[in-house]
Amino acid sequence: MSSFPGFLHSKRPTISQLSDPDWFSINTIIDRSELFKLLPTLRKLAQGLVVHEPQQILPLEQIGREENNGTPPQN
């Protein structure tokens, strides 16, 4: 794990050990521009890479309103 780029340590990724103790799964969120910069390094270090592009990103305030039927959440 120490050979992975520094961004993985600074973004608080989810790191899961796989059934083989030498293998890990890493899940993190990065800006698209960062992905393209990191691809050469990731190709050298990773067995596979799955990229998901969100369809929509909602601000937390909007999610709170939707949970309360349109009214702002009470603090």
Q: What is the secondary structure of 20-52 as a DSSP string?
A: STT-EEEE----HHHHHHHHHHHHHH-S-----
> How far is residue 9's CA from residue 31's CA, in Å, rounded to a whole number?
15
pLDDT in tens, 54-72: 887 777 776 666 666 666 5
pLDDT in tens, 13-55: 888 999 999 888 888 888 888 888 888 888 888 888 888 888 8
| Predicted pLDDT at 19 | 95
Whole-structure pTM over 0.85, yes or no? no
| Predicted pLDDT at 20 | 93
Q: Which two tokens stand for residue 26?
A: 């890493």
